[in-house]
Structure 1
Amino acid sequence: MTQFTRRDVFATAAGAAATAAAGFNPLTLASANAQGVAGSTTGVYRYKLGDIELIQVLDGARTFPMPDKFVANVDKEQAAAAFEGLYMPKGQVTISFSPLIVKSGGKTIAIDTGNGLGAFAATKGAVGNTRANMQAAGIDVKAVDIVLISHFHGDHINGLKNADGTPAYTSAEIKVPEAEQKFWTDESNQSKANGANKGNFANVKKVFDGLKTTPFEVGKEVAPGITAIATPGHTPGHVSFIISSGSKKLVVQGDVTNQPGVFMRNPNWHLVFDNDGAMAEATRRKFYDMAMAEKMPVVGYHFPFPAAGYVEKDGNGYRLIQVHALT
């Protein structure tokens, strides 16, 4: 059973007090006007949360034929119809990727790192654009102080290395969920991974080879204004992050769900990459119920760019209301 509650989420005294008084605090978003070098992309979106600056950077998006068991507990025809209902090409799936940069307490913090420069070359620029968009936003990868990892799937960790395998974030402390690290660095756990996740052990070993990491526990502040919460199921040690500034809060959900137009509307659908589908489903429901109760914006790694919005109930599921109040 998923183990997190409102009390777990707002572990600090200041967080609990602020939440009670906060009420509804809509995000104010502002599109970036940063100019990148010639040929660079401009997938950059800036917004503020109290005194904290958040910079959403688009890593890219991939469109691919839907595998037979992309939704593990639903037949392919039903799953394909759901994606086609979002005006995606028939039989195709489009997934986007959006890491987040946070400037808080004098620190520059990256939450997840994208598919990496190696993927940029392999996909002819479809994904792997995080570094280019950081540059367009005026953020030098060497100036990042802390990297927070939500979980160990490749699209979140591969950006820790350059295309030649050298470390990318050379000045940053790389902080990882303790439970996630313990699971993926113990090869005896391969028997506990579902088919789609068994190959991830080799990639984890490759990515983290030569990197120094700092494991963290959930329920604690892991960077200025950022607290980690346990949201397991997608992977055993998957975490999300509460970002707080004064009375304002939002939650960065990692992969609590994938494409929101499908998996938020159908929280009982189990993505092929959910290592424990039943646990992932329980986490989704508790997580979104919590976000609605607290009227907190949600940032989703796989939400359509700029990847931020509010969650509302929709029948037996949920729907994402993306934020487009530009200033």
Structure 2
Amino acid sequence: MHITRRTFLTGAASLPMLAALPRPSLAEIRIGEATLTTVSDGHLVLPADFIFGPMPQDQLDPVLRDLGVDPAGPLKPECNLTLYRDGSNTVLFDAGSGPDFMPTAGKILDGLEAVGLTPEDITHVVFTHAHPDHIWGVLDDFDDPLFVNAIHMMGRAEWDYWWNPETVNTIGAARTTFAVGARRRMEAIEGSVAMFDDGQEILPGIAAVASHGHTPGHMSFEIRNGSEAAMVLGDAIGNHHVAFRKPGWHSGSDQDAEMAAETRRSLFDRLTAERMRLVGFHLPGGGIGRADHFDDGFIFLPGDA
């Protein structure tokens, strides 16, 4: 499998382009006195084998068809940016794709406008990881930092991985542009970066949870106020179909497929045991919902049920 940014863009350009989603503010819940909202950055257009390539094809089709997913693709996952507001901090989890990754994504300005905000209102940008659809949006059309008043926060292991000059040589040809693009954007925000480690409370009520595998230092975040909590997952659980139904299957989207599968199983155990709400970057309906057991896997229940 050889997927590059050029492949993505070529594939996306051959399909009818969608305008910004009609509901840029997609979903919202309360966590105590704070509000958790998802806003749209648009959607991606991906070849099916980018995710499904390593999976057992004879078992894959029934799972996908049961959920109304075309095994041949293309896949068009939503990009849900999570916005957390507690009256003091206005925190954006991930920055989206920006103007340079894919024409169907990079719509964060529309999403923020829909909830009455501008980039200048964001106090913190917290990264789950540094793939293009999560970090390229830190720069605007002129390659200047977009969130000029924000502290940018990233897990130390993730920062170190993408900052390492050897990453571009070891990540593999399919993701070379990912490494180059991440490093360029990290250089642009270096002066406003704070790093953190697993288990650290990075802001009041927000704790980092290691969820490595999709990338070497991928982080999720537990947001808690008293007995109310939600988990911002990023791409640790990256879709509503095979990631839920068959969490142990390896996905082509993960950089360490075995570790990512272990992470998914661990997260599902916790999410279901605690009945914790979740927010997934690429999950449908705005990405907010819960996980529940289904046969030998799980199912995504959108909304606040």
Q: With the length of structure 1 as denominator, give the TM-score of the two structures.
A: 0.80
Give the corresponding residue for 2:4. Answer: none
Cα deviations across residues 123-154 of structure 1 (Å, max 9, x unaligned)? 1xx22112111111101110111110000101
Give the corresponding residue for 2:11. Answer: none
Give the corresponding residue for 1:320. Answer: 300
Residue 165 (1) aligns with residue 128 (2):
no
Residue 115 (1) aligns with residue 108 (2):
no
Q: Secondary structure at the match of 2:111?
A: helix
- Equivalent positions of 1:69-218 (< 5 A) are 70-75=51-56, 79=60, 82-89=63-70, 91-92=72-73, 93-104=75-86, 106-119=88-101, 122-123=102-103, 126-190=104-168, 193=171, 196-211=174-189, 212=191, 213-218=193-198
Letter in 2 for 1:104: D
Q: Secondary structure at the match of 1:227?
A: strand
Q: Secondary structure at the match of 1:171?
A: coil
Give the corresponding residue for 2:41. Answer: 59
Identity rate of aligned residues, in percent? 26
Q: Secondary structure at the match of 1:257?
A: coil
Q: Secondary structure at the match of 1:299?
A: strand
Name the Cα RMSD after superposition: 2.2
**Residues 40 and 132 in structure 1, CA contact (< 8 A), matched pair in contact too:** no
Structure 2 unaligned regions, length at least 5: 1-19
Cα deviations across residues 104-138 of structure 1 (Å, max 9, x unaligned)? 2511000011111334xx51xx2211211111110
**CA–CA distance in 2 between the matches of 1:278 and 1:90?**
22
Equivalent pairs, count: 282
**CA–CA distance in 1 between the matches of 2:53 and 2:243?**
12
Letter in 2 for 1:199: T
Moved more, 235-244 or 100-109: 100-109
How far did 1:199 drift? 3.4
Letter in 2 for 1:142: E
Q: Secondary structure at the match of 1:264?
A: helix
**Residues 73 and 270 in structure 1, CA contact (< 8 A), matched pair in contact too:** yes
Give the corresponding residue for 1:4. Answer: none
Cα deviations across residues 184-218 of structure 1 (Å, max 9, x unaligned)? 11122456535543432101122222212111112
Give the corresponding residue for 1:286. Answer: 266
Distance 1:80-1:139 versus aligned 2 partners, 3 A rule: farther
Structure 1 unaligned regions, length at least 5: 1-38
- Equivalent positions of 1:219-238 (< 5 A) are 219-238=199-218
Distance 1:309-1:280 versus aligned 2 partners, 3 A rule: same
Cα deviations across residues 9-58 of structure 1 (Å, max 9, x unaligned)? xxxxxxxxxxxxxxxxxxxxxxxxxxxxxx99532033211111112101
**CA–CA distance in 2 between the matches of 1:316 and 1:104?**
38
**CA–CA distance in 2 between the matches of 1:49 and 1:189?**
38
**Residues 72 and 269 in structure 1, CA contact (< 8 A), matched pair in contact too:** no
Residue 295 (1) aligns with residue 275 (2):
yes
**CA–CA distance in 1 between the matches of 2:174 and 2:203?**
32
Letter in 2 for 1:241: F
**CA–CA distance in 1 between the matches of 2:205 and 2:97?**
26
Q: With the length of structure 2 as denominator, give the TM-score of the two structures.
A: 0.85
Q: Secondary structure at the match of 2:234?
A: coil
**Residues 21 and 40 in structure 2, CA contact (< 8 A), matched pair in contact too:** no
**Residues 21 and 42 in structure 2, CA contact (< 8 A), matched pair in contact too:** no
**CA–CA distance in 2 between the matches of 1:187 and 1:77?**
40
**CA–CA distance in 1 between the matches of 2:194 and 2:257?**
28
Residue 275 (1) aligns with residue 242 (2):
no
